[in-house]
Chains A and B, each alone.
Chain A
Amino acid sequence: MSLNETLTRAMPQRWQAPGLVPSLLFCVFIAFFAWSLSRAGISIPDLIAGIPAMGTIASEMVPPATDRLLPMMNSVLTTFQMALVGAGIGIVLSFPIAILATRTLSPHPIVYSATRAFVSFVRTVPDLAWALFFVASVGLGPFAGTLALIMDTIGFCGRFFAESMEEVDPGPSEALAAMGAKRADIIACAVVPAATPGLTNASLYSLEKAVRSSVVLGLVGAGGIGAELAVSMEMFRYDQAATIVLMIFVLVLGVERFSAYARSKFLDGARPKL
């Protein structure tokens, strides 16, 4: 082909009309959303009628009760400790699971698919369902809650650890393989260092998530501050409930601040040199 041959100029259209099938699907979606609105029981009159009750509850919340401060603080501490241990053990267990669920590191495609399926299943079951299951099997108390948090963390970290490790540049791994390094060496020296930001992020986020869900787990008897909150609400002690909510707020905020600090330390490249 010679250079002075006239080339066809091809200006792309500004807009392209969507095809028939996408248009139909969009209309179906809009119709479904409208139906869902009607089934969600949204009722403006009910909302308006509820405002005085909300006002009463809110006014009863101030001032927050201080009569059971010490036992409540103890419960908050238990909640946090459950979350810490649950997330910690969950993160440690997630790591080998994630390696099996990483396409590039898994020893066999069948192992990869099976592990992926397992992690997806664990993630699909809600934390409250795990808590009910463990309360029924190991009894009431923080142990059931901790087990539920471990499962929840595995479902979350198993997936995101695997994705972090799948996304790393394959170059360093190939270089180590070319030298004759073992799979364990490659994982430890090429994959994990490159995936550190992703692994750190997922771990810290799973800790935040565990703290938030550990509060709710108490509602089904799996230990911690949730039980106190349920009792206060049932006994119409909204001032106590307010204290508990404030404590939870401080706890979650504290964990998130710590998380942000740890992230900045780990991700900005200023870590000690290994």
Chain B
Amino acid sequence: MLLRDILNMPTSSAIDRIRVIDGPNAVDLEREGAQSAPSLPRFTDAPGINSKTALAVKGLGKTYTTQNGTNTVLRDVSFAINAGDSVAIVGANGSGKSTSLRCAMRLIEPTTGEIFLEGRPLMGLSGLALRKARSKVGFVFQKHNLSTRLSVLSNVLHGGFARGCGIRNWTHSIAPKEERDRALDCLDQVGLADLAGRRADQLSGGQSQRVAIARALMQGPSLIFADEPAASLDPKAGEDMMALFSDLCRRTGLTLIVVSHNLEHALAYADRLIGLQAGSVVLDRKSTGLTREDLAWLYEETGA
């Protein structure tokens, strides 16, 4: 308690304003939050889906059952993200950031909750319908997750699978000309068109991650989910990576949701922050005017 108070003293008013959803003074702060931050989305009842909502999740929860009982990693996570927004999900290790992204795409099946992707529910889908829905979201992981024994161009071509490009997109050697051209365009957008013929294991970390982004662009997505895209890169490459995302989103109008524990990146490149703590949303507001110090409380130990 002592440390937090000392840290928070100079900016306690800012802290109060952002600690709107949870915490000891939730009721007071909610009133204050409503006054000072009118743009604050709240999910008291309906997730407020409208034509501009790219992704809405409501009451998302994930509980693992183990021999030692149950382990709840997400509880009642709700947010709605408008098309064209760039949002950062922040929080300490194990707060459920990556899990919430994976659950939102049902890569991990959520225990409870609803998901609306461009207004359409995702929970009931399976098979082709689920694959089509997933193809709207380009997922970029902390690791590039390329097939390193294949060429760069083949890896980018794999982004076309969900559009129904079949076996011919397995490798660039047999891919149709339009698909090859399209893949090269995607590589061009991340500045790597000169490396299309190279084997993917001969790239640097930053280049590999950019190929992963080109592969996501090949899907023709309307959203990009980026799970710690800069965490395995050196600071310079990480900075370049975030700048590239930001630039891509501005140029193409893509909606970006980035999970990061790098607060500088989150504050610099996202318009809105969603903070998770122990699997719950404890912060959801615009990033303007916030500093690193304002968010230090997110990283404190909880549940002690």
User: A residues touching B (Cβ–Cβ < 8 Å)?
Assistant: 171-172, 174-182, 184-185, 188-190, 193-194, 196, 269, 271, 273-274
**Set of chain B residues within 8 Å of A177, measured between Cβ atoms:** 107, 134
Does residue B151 face the partner (Cβ distance < 8 Å to A)? yes
Looking at the assembled complex, report how far the CB atom of A172 sits from the nearest CB atom of chain B, in whole angstroms. Answer: 5
Q: A174-B107, A194-B148 are in contact. List 12 more A-B contacts (CB 8 A).
A: A175-B212, A178-B139, A179-B159, A180-B134, A181-B158, A188-B167, A188-B170, A189-B147, A190-B147, A193-B149, A194-B147, A269-B149
Q: Are A273 and B199 in contact, with the CB atoms below 8 A?
A: yes
**Set of chain A residues within 8 Å of B31, measured between Cβ atoms:** none
Looking at the assembled complex, report how far the CB atom of A246 sits from the nearest CB atom of chain B, in whole angstroms. Answer: 40
Q: Are B150 and A176 in contact, with the CB atoms below 8 A?
A: no
Bound together, the chains give a CA A190 to CA B146 distance in angstroms of 8
**Set of chain A residues within 8 Å of B166, measured between Cβ atoms:** 185
8 smallest CB-CB distances across A and B, nearest first, come from A180-B162, A180-B131, A175-B145, A181-B161, A180-B135, A178-B139, A180-B134, A171-B145
From A179, A269, A271, give the contact of B158 (CB < 8 A): A179
A-B contact pairs, 8 of them (CB 8 A): A172-B145, A175-B141, A179-B215, A182-B131, A185-B161, A188-B167, A193-B147, A274-B173
Bound together, the chains give a CA A274 to CA B105 distance in angstroms of 30
Bound together, the chains give a CA A161 to CA B154 distance in angstroms of 24
From A174, A179, A194, A274, give the contact of B161 (CB < 8 A): A179
Interface string of B137-157 (1 = CB under 8 A from A): 111010101111111001000
Q: Are B132 and A196 in contact, with the CB atoms below 8 A?
A: no
With an 8 Å Cβ cutoff, the count of chain B residues facing the other chain is 40
Q: Are B147 and A172 in contact, with the CB atoms below 8 A?
A: yes
Q: Are B107 and A178 in contact, with the CB atoms below 8 A?
A: yes
Does residue B292 face the partner (Cβ distance < 8 Å to A)? no
Does residue B10 face the partner (Cβ distance < 8 Å to A)? no
Q: Are B145 and A179 in contact, with the CB atoms below 8 A?
A: no
Bound together, the chains give a CA A184 to CA B169 distance in angstroms of 12
CB nearest to B199 among chain A residues: A273
CB nearest to A170 among chain B residues: B145
Q: Which of A171, A185, A269 has the most CB atoms of chain B within a 10 A radius of its CB?
A: A185
**Set of chain B residues within 8 Å of A181, measured between Cβ atoms:** 131, 158, 161-162
Q: Are B149 and A196 in contact, with the CB atoms below 8 A?
A: yes
With A171-B145, A193-B149 known as contacts, the answer to whether A179 contacts B170 (CB < 8 A) is: no
**Set of chain A residues within 8 Å of B145, measured between Cβ atoms:** 171-172, 174-175
CB nearest to B173 among chain A residues: A274
Q: Are A179 and B147 in contact, with the CB atoms below 8 A?
A: no
Does residue B130 face the partner (Cβ distance < 8 Å to A)? yes
**Set of chain A residues within 8 Å of B199, measured between Cβ atoms:** 269, 273
Looking at the assembled complex, report how far the CB atom of B219 sits from the nearest CB atom of chain A, in whole angstroms. Answer: 6
From A171, A180, A273, give the contact of B141 (CB < 8 A): A171
Bound together, the chains give a CA A188 to CA B165 distance in angstroms of 14
Q: Are A194 and B149 in contact, with the CB atoms below 8 A?
A: yes
**Set of chain B residues within 8 Å of A194, measured between Cβ atoms:** 147-149
Q: Which of A171, A178, A185 has the most CB atoms of chain B within a 10 A radius of its CB?
A: A178
**Set of chain B residues within 8 Å of A178, measured between Cβ atoms:** 105, 107, 134, 137, 139
CB nearest to B146 among chain A residues: A172
CB nearest to B163 among chain A residues: A180
Q: Are B161 and A273 in contact, with the CB atoms below 8 A?
A: no
Bound together, the chains give a CA A196 to CA B199 distance in angstroms of 15
From A174, A175, A274, give the contact of B150 (CB < 8 A): A274
Bound together, the chains give a CA A189 to CA B169 distance in angstroms of 9
Does residue B233 face the partner (Cβ distance < 8 Å to A)? no
CB nearest to A188 among chain B residues: B170
**Set of chain A residues within 8 Å of B172, measured between Cβ atoms:** 274
CB nearest to A184 among chain B residues: B167
Bound together, the chains give a CA A188 to CA B149 distance in angstroms of 12
Bound together, the chains give a CA A180 to CA B138 distance in angstroms of 10
Q: Are B147 and A180 in contact, with the CB atoms below 8 A?
A: no
Q: Which of B138, B139, B147, B173 has the most CB atoms of chain A within a 10 A radius of its CB?
A: B147
**Set of chain A residues within 8 Å of B82, measured between Cβ atoms:** none
CB nearest to B197 among chain A residues: A273
- Taking CB atoms and an 8 Å cut-off, the chain B residues in 152-191 that contact chain A are 154, 158-159, 161-162, 166-167, 169-173
From B162, B170, B219, give the contact of A189 (CB < 8 A): B170
Does residue B201 face the partner (Cβ distance < 8 Å to A)? yes
Does residue B52 face the partner (Cβ distance < 8 Å to A)? no
